[in-house]
Amino acid sequence: MKPVQIARKQNLSPEDFARDYLQGIGKPVIVTDATDRWPARSKWTFAFFKTAYGSDLVSSPLGIGSGVAKVTKLATYINHLDTPNEEIPGFWVNARDGKPLSVVPEARESPPYLLGWYAFQKHAELYADIEPPPYFVSDWALALNSTLREVLEWTSEREYWSIYVGPAGSLSKLHRDFWHTHACLAQIHGRKRAILFSPEDSACLYGGQVDPERPDLQRFPLFDRVTAYECVIEPGDMLFIPPDWWHWVKGLEKSITVSHNFFNEVNFSQYLAEILKRLPTLVQGFDTFPAWREEVRVEWHSKDFSDFHI
């Protein structure tokens, strides 16, 4: 494995950013001044979240991709950030369907990691704390009104903006983000270690099964051929991840992170293709939530597609 340090930049013009980091398969970069004007940098503390939103019921899986999660109150979760090895009060559920588990999970690669708060959906006022958007890149997701954003988030089962809270050791295993979107990870508190891999190395990553921190080269011998783009994301940093880049992220300290996925002129065609693949699900959303239909002014129904075949 060849390690490469991800560059740290500031005062990037959109033109320079497009030339250096959006061409071809793209290139990751840390932008050190992207959040300088965010109120969240000073406002969002663990104590603030606990006081303002502590009664929220939240879901904390054992890392991204885990099949199990602990459901508890936000205040209870925050109280345990400094003792991640202790059991958090609450109940275990299947992370996919939300059904309670009768058996407590034993094997744990990560402590419970707060990925299922849905903070922006529950508390829209939090958007004001992360303005303005990244100054260095165009973001077409910002053109979506709130209803259309809800429709697409429901269809993709992903959020465009998320707040992640976790203790030291919280883990996002090797994965790629949804629908060929760009991603930005903005660090508010704490530090994280990130390792990224180009889509050109996908054949050597075994579908994300390999652990980049401790690779088993007997099981995954091709991994030794990859180039690993590494960094530590410091408070105030924003890590830009191009579409389809694999990434692995681990908390070095208890942390608060804003994750944002978006599309623009670079990846819109791939993004639109993913929407069309899931058109029946999208249409079902309009049937399930009539208010969406009225707001977006959609007149057709799922029955109109009953005889539609590709």
User: Which tokens go with 280?
Assistant: 């029946």
Question: Which pLDDT does position 149 carry in this prediction?
Answer: 87
Domain count, the chain: 1
Helix (H, G, I), strand (E, B) or coil at 140: helix
Domain containing residue 24? 2-294
Which DSSP symbol is given to 305?
G
How confident is the model at residue 306, as a pLDDT? 60
Could you say which residues of the chain have pLDDT below 50? Answer: 310
C-alpha 113 chain-centroid distance: 12
Question: What is the side-by-side order of every strand in the sheet holding 2-5?
Answer: 2-5, 227-233, 192-197, 246-251, 171-175
Identify the pLDDT of residue 21.
Answer: 98
Residues 6+ apart with CB under 8 A from 166: 60, 81, 111, 113, 114, 251, 254, 255
Among residues 181, 178, 218, 177, the alpha carbon closest in space to that of 196 is found at: 177
DSSP-derived letter for residue 190 is: S
**CATH number of the structural domain spanning residue 179:** 2.60.120.650
Report if residue 38 sits inside a domain.
yes
Residue written as tokens 């069309």? 276
Residue 304 within any structural domain of the chain: no
Q: In this structure, what token pair is assigned to residue 47?
A: 């104590």
- Is 305 within a domain? no
**Overall pTM surpassing 0.85 (yes/no):** yes
The answer to the question of residue 310 being in a domain is: no
At residue 83, what is the residue type? T
Residue pair 269/262 in contact (Cβ under 8 Å)? The answer is no
Q: What is the pLDDT of residue 95?
A: 82
**Residue 31 domain flag:** yes
DSSP assignments along 87-123, one per residue: PPSSEEEETTT-PBPSS-----SS---B-B--HHHH-
Task: Give domain status of residue 303, yes or no.
Answer: no
Note the Cα 225 to chain centre separation in Å: 27
Tens-place pLDDT, residues 176-224: 999 999 999 999 999 999 999 999 999 999 999 999 999 999 999 999 9
Report phi then psi at 11, rounded to 5.
Answer: 55, 45
Does residue 21 form part of some domain?
yes
Asked if residue 308 is part of any domain, the answer here is no
